Amino acid sequence: MTLFLQTLPFLLDGLRITLLVSAGVIVLSLLIGVPLGCVLAFGPLWARFPIRIYADFVRGVPILVLLYFVYYGLPAIKVNLPSLTAAIVALTAFKSAQVIEITRGAFQSIPRGQTEAAKSIGLGLLDRFVHVLAPQAIRRFLPPFVNSVVDTVKGSSLVSLLGIVDLMLALQQVIGRTHVALPLYVMGALMYFAINYPLSTLSRRLEKRFI
Amino acid sequence: MTNYHFNFAIVWRYAAKLFDGLLLSIELAIATIAIGMVIGLVLALVEMDGPRWVRPFIRGYVEFIRNVPLLLLVYLVFYGVPSAIDLQYDATTSFVVTLAIYSGAYLVEVLRAGFEAVPKGLIEAGKAIGLTPVGVLIHVRLPTALRIALPSLSNTYVSLFKDTSIASAIAVPELAYGMRWIETQTFRTVEVYLLATPIYLVTSYAILLLLRLAERRYAITR
């Protein structure tokens, strides 16, 4: 028990980095992914094509490889990013691709009749989007998006492999010092669980309500 | 690209390392999927048809695994468990066990959804022609559920293949490990990634296309 109390402040420091990285990645990937997802759902073919390629490319490669590529690969072409920035860039590149797909899926799940009905009562493009499509799409967007937040928090543990002292690496360091492995791993797992479980429950509730 | 001089020849010399890595990645994925499917099927069936008291345990397993990072579970099994109980295993075995337990939690959900989507009338029809409950399971529920679940299954399989890259964290010599190894030997970082990233991409795609073909072949037409 004293061991846990002694190591707790150190683990909480790591947890702060885990949450910081996750929050940064989520905000950035919303800013990038939602507009691109809208273009993928409604845009002209020439604009959809590069976005499709991007999303498919990024989702076909493991996050770990993207992370290594940004951190170890880019310096070769004189792009030197500090590890925390590199981690956020790589995770955002990955998460954006998922947000693009979720956004596209949300819009495409709306029946065509909705657009036709909106057109028939004389709504213009902007009004159709704001008053008819977007309110319905957001209900389809939320459940998978919240699930994807859980994924982000879990995926952020990979930044420990670049030497960033997040919860995962803080845990490793405490274990290295104290040589108490299993109880501390379980404690770390429970800390991740405490953040993610409410989110997955929320996602399931939203799914039941909206989909 | 500021004056970067490509030198693929050096990296090419280690291409065998990448090939071996890819083979191991695929082997890891296949072994994991095989064990994970057994875990998923058994637990999905027990959750639906089994006694009520086991349900909280299955839920607990699924929720715990799904809300904890895979990397942490990999360390927990490889470093944590042997430190507490006297059990020795190598990194590869340890990783397969971990990823199978991890994928099991996702597969239970996918397969349960598949089973729940089997039309009631179909099950009754099975009973009506005189099939025993086991007969109904083997000839009606299982094949129908698997066909319904195929699209979700292919997504899970592809992400499992990508997850094998985490094995490099405990030095299992799969593809991601091979990449980093060549990089540290040659310092030709860009070339290594230009060779290895497409390998992941193409393999992920091959898995997806193969399963799409299966989806089309076994699609349930209503």
pTM of the model: 0.93
B62 and chain A: CB distance < 8 Å anywhere? no
A169 closest CA partner among A29, A14, A43: A14
Residues 89 through 148 of chain A touching chain B, CB cutoff 8 Å: none
Give how far B99 is from chain A: nearest CA, Å: 15
Q: Which of B218, B209, B211, B212 is nearest to B145 (CA)?
A: B218
Rounded to the nearest angstrom, the minimum Cα separation between B79 and chain A is 7
Tell me the DSSP string of B66-86.
Answer: HTS-HHHHHHIIIIIHHHHSS
Taking only Cα atoms into account, the Rg of chain B, rounded to an integer number of angstroms, comes to 21
Which amino acid type is present at position A25?
V
**Complex ipTM tops 0.90:** yes
pLDDT for residue A35 is more than 70: yes
Taking only the tens place, the pLDDT of each residue in B150-200 is: 999 999 999 999 999 999 999 999 999 999 999 888 888 888 888 888 999
Using CA atoms, how far apart are residues A191 and A135, in angstroms rounded to an integer? Answer: 35
B169 touches chain A (CB under 8 A): yes
H runs (alpha helix) in chain A? 2-42, 45-59, 63-68, 83-108, 112-120, 125-127, 134-155, 167-178, 182-210
Interface residue A14 vs chain B (CB under 8 A): no
Residue A198 pLDDT level (bands cut at 50, 70, 90): very high
Burial B189-206 (b: 16+ CB within 10 A, else e): bbbbbebbbebbbebbee
Task: Give me the tens of pLDDT residue by residue for chain B, a chain 222 residues long.
Answer: 556 778 888 888 888 889 999 999 999 999 999 999 999 999 999 999 999 999 999 999 999 999 999 999 999 999 999 988 888 899 999 999 999 999 999 999 999 999 999 999 999 999 999 999 999 999 999 999 999 999 999 999 999 999 999 999 999 999 999 999 998 888 888 888 888 889 999 999 999 999 989 888 887 765
